[in-house]
Structure 1
Amino acid sequence: MEKIIQVDQLRKEFKSFSSRSGLKGAFRDLFTRNYKVIPAVKDISFDINKGEMVGYIGENGAGKSTSIKMLTGILTPTSGIVTVNGMDPHKEREKFVKSIGVVFGQRSQLWWDIAVQESFRLLKKVYKVPDDVYKKHMNHVIESLDIAPLLDKPVRKLSLGQRMRCELAAALLHNPSLLFLDEPTIGLDVLVKLKIRNFLKEINEKYQTTVLLTTHDLTDIEALCERVIMLDEGQIIYDGKLSKLKSNWGEGKQIEFQFADVEISRMKLNPLLTELEAEWTRGDRQNVWVANVLNDEHVISEVIGRVVAAHKITDIKIHEISTEEIIRNIYEEGAINA
């Protein structure tokens, strides 16, 4: 398969100034400064094929944004090789940016005080998109994202959800083969998120657009991506199918108990799980506790039987362990083998 992104031993280090303590130290800093080298990305390697939709996830400070900036040519790597669409993003920047689309949830590529359609026309000239191609492609994008009523409004007059749909349309104006999405649904309501997800699926199927999605909203990952790349402290700790991650780490179930006694405590509940591979976590209310158990009929029945026999229960729910819970457990326990 055609490789859109190729990363080999990619590394990025930053120099950080370390000040000395006290007046004497401050005086010495005027003449000689102490620096320490901080590695933000540590020799990562991966390939992404044409048409893939990949979730790029990790905690704050894991190295996601730094590596995305190297992939888009904003930052120069300290060492290693990065090739995107057959080009070096930093050395061939002018040609390279015409082949990608980028949406940053916290930044805008639209002009704040002019109408959305005027921003689109300016970007059309920047990317040198022919009139007939622009009209055909953008009519489809505008209809799919339902932004026709917004075209004559200044960007500053749009709500967050409206602006993000227009940002996505702007990123796809030149129909790029690769789309970088950094928190594209942050702060959006459920209906807008659904519209954006459906549209991304549609362009992926229609144009084989490759998507690299960075987000903390794991429902976006579950809805769009079969593959995830997980970073921790600048290193890749998992690269593979989301289904494999869930099957390997999400084999348990969660039994949610709502107790009649609002004073119920872990001390009272712990003895009920003796000799069972299970543990308690507090729920979203004072009288709600969750038993995390193995996906085993005997264990599940035993836990429910013991709890119901010992305490008055007003409600019981059994849940599959969520992707969010799986990811949280992985980070708490350290690293995993891909």
Structure 2
Amino acid sequence: MALIEVDRLSKHYQQAVRREGRFAALRSLLAREQRTIHAVDQISFMIERGEMVGYIGPNGAGKSTTMKMLTGILVPSGGHLLVDGRVPHRQRVAHVRQIGVVFGQRTQLWWDLPTIETFELLRYIYRIPQERWRQNLDTFTKLLELHPFLETPVRQLSLGQRMRADLAAALLHDPAILFLDEPTIGLDVVARERIRQFLTHINRERGVTIILTTHDLADIARLCPRVVLIDHGQVIYDGTLAALSARYGRWRTLVVDLSHEVEAVSVPQAEVVRREGPRVWLRFDRAATTAAALITDVAAAYPVRDLTVEEPEIEAIVRDIYEAGSALNHRALAP
């Protein structure tokens, strides 16, 4: 049995339609017209225990709505949802004892209290045994380098410090699942990498299942072997990053370093997209030719000093999918 089972899950909202004209407000009072917003529209997927899954999509795609249903904040309009055998919105108290949640734009820390006092309050709220709480606190303090600001009021913490404290707070009660919504938003490179390393550690060493939503696809590439891509409330891809790149990353680039600059470079089934002195970038369609064939043609025609094949960046692939709309009507197999 999967840890998370989502079957034809939907969330619909009613939105009032504003009318135009002189007496629009009066007409709206007498006969209110509404339209249905399909925030999430019959999505289905399963997540196994111990997975790290990136749940991505453009703004308004339905990511946050899905997360709120998974955590029990919102009641679905239709479909079925089970998280570790529980229906989140029906068993909220039992559910929140087994999950951790971190929203990058919000905090669960008490604003005017020192960080350590928030951790102590959470021990009482979740009824964590003193010995286990101390073990977790010591572990997270070391991994996240919390010690310098444990006695500092939350309102005085930097964004990076607050995010590290939020992560620790979400995990003190040993949840089986961690839901993360933009956990690295606004962080510098050092803070972002520290959090990535911590998430990798708790997934590998503690088996915590992690569902991550973010617009920073570097986080996804660094952390999540599997991605679920949602657009206009529907899942349009579910599979590995490698398969996504292979299937939809049509264009590859061969970077050629010549021994000296030549006047013109022309190679069948490739397009020169950039030149800087003796270095040439050749773009080619992976469906039309292979890197090996292209390298053979280049080496036969020009004085080659070095060659590098660049794969398409995951950000570019996903951006192209977004711009094309919900053109993907089938799924890749999950890993």
TM category (shorter chain) comes to 0.7 to 0.9
Alpha carbons of structure 1 residues 72 and 305: separation in structure 2 relative to 1, 3 Å: farther
Structure 1 partner of 2:312: 321
RMSD (CA atoms): 2.8
Q: CA deviation at 1:31?
A: 2.1
Structure 1 partner of 2:259: none
Alpha carbons of structure 1 residues 273 and 44: separation in structure 2 relative to 1, 3 Å: farther
Tell me which amino acid in the other structure corresponds to 2:6: V
State whether structure 2 residue 269 is matched by structure 1 residue 276. yes
- Report the 3-state secondary structure (helix = DSSP H, G, I; strand = E; otherwise coil) of the residue aligned with 1:168: helix
> What are structure 1's unaligned runs of at least 5 residues?
258-268, 310-315
Alpha carbons of structure 1 residues 302 and 216: separation in structure 2 relative to 1, 3 Å: farther
Q: CA deviation at 1:298?
A: 4.4
Structure 2 partner of 1:189: 188
Note the alpha carbon deviations across 1:163-188, whole angstroms, 9 max, x for none: 11001001001010000001101111
State whether structure 2 residue 284 is matched by structure 1 residue 293. yes
- Report the 3-state secondary structure (helix = DSSP H, G, I; strand = E; otherwise coil) of the residue aligned with 2:31: coil
Q: Distance in 1 between matches of 2:281 and 2:21?
A: 51
Alpha carbons of structure 1 residues 31 and 198: separation in structure 2 relative to 1, 3 Å: same
Structure 2 partner of 1:260: none
Q: Distance in 2 between matches of 1:289 and 1:20?
A: 57
Structure 1 partner of 2:132: 133
Structure 2 partner of 1:77: 76
Query: Contact between 2:272 and 2:280, CA under 8 Å: does it hold in 1?
Result: no
> What are structure 2's unaligned runs of at least 5 residues?
257-263
Q: Distance in 2 between matches of 1:35 and 1:62?
A: 21
Structure 2 partner of 1:213: 212
Q: CA deviation at 1:40?
A: 0.8
Q: Distance in 1 between matches of 2:117 and 2:153?
A: 9
Q: Distance in 2 between matches of 1:19 and 1:249?
A: 40
Q: Distance in 2 between matches of 1:174 and 1:304?
A: 60
Q: Distance in 1 between matches of 2:70 and 2:173?
A: 19
Q: How does 1:155-304 map to 2 (within 5 A)?
A: 155-250=154-249, 252-254=251-253, 276=269, 278=271, 280=273, 292-294=283-285, 295-299=290-294
Structure 2 partner of 1:147: 146
Alpha carbons of structure 1 residues 170 and 27: separation in structure 2 relative to 1, 3 Å: same
Alpha carbons of structure 1 residues 55 and 296: separation in structure 2 relative to 1, 3 Å: same
Q: How does 1:299-310 map to 2 (within 5 A)?
A: 299=294
State the percentage of identical aligned residues: 46
Alpha carbons of structure 1 residues 289 and 65: separation in structure 2 relative to 1, 3 Å: farther
Note the alpha carbon deviations across 1:130-175, whole angstroms, 9 max, x for none: 1011011211111111111110001111111111100100100101
Q: Distance in 1 between matches of 2:253 and 2:186?
A: 28
Q: Which moved more, 1:42-51 or 1:190-199?
A: 190-199
Q: CA deviation at 1:330?
A: 2.1
Tell me which amino acid in the other structure corresponds to 2:141: I
TM-score normalised to the size of structure 2? Answer: 0.85
Note the alpha carbon deviations across 1:200-253, whole angstroms, 9 max, x for none: 111112221000010111111111111110001111111111221122223532
Q: Which moved more, 1:157-166 or 1:187-196?
A: 187-196
- Report the 3-state secondary structure (helix = DSSP H, G, I; strand = E; otherwise coil) of the residue aligned with 2:239: strand
- Report the 3-state secondary structure (helix = DSSP H, G, I; strand = E; otherwise coil) of the residue aligned with 1:109: coil
Tell me which amino acid in the other structure corresponds to 1:184: P
Alpha carbons of structure 1 residues 150 and 289: separation in structure 2 relative to 1, 3 Å: farther
Q: Distance in 2 between matches of 1:195 and 1:169?
A: 13
Q: CA deviation at 1:290?
A: 6.5
Query: Contact between 1:279 and 1:293, CA under 8 Å: does it hold in 2?
Result: no
Q: Which moved more, 1:243-252 or 1:125-134?
A: 243-252
Q: Which moved more, 1:6-15 or 1:19-28?
A: 19-28
- Report the 3-state secondary structure (helix = DSSP H, G, I; strand = E; otherwise coil) of the residue aligned with 2:22: helix
Note the alpha carbon deviations across 1:54-74, whole angstroms, 9 max, x for none: 010111111101111111111
Q: CA deviation at 1:256?
A: 7.0
- Report the 3-state secondary structure (helix = DSSP H, G, I; strand = E; otherwise coil) of the residue aligned with 2:107: coil
TM-score normalised to the size of structure 1? Answer: 0.85
Query: Contact between 2:104 and 2:163, CA under 8 Å: does it hold in 1?
Result: yes
Query: Contact between 1:19 and 1:33, CA under 8 Å: does it hold in 2?
Result: no
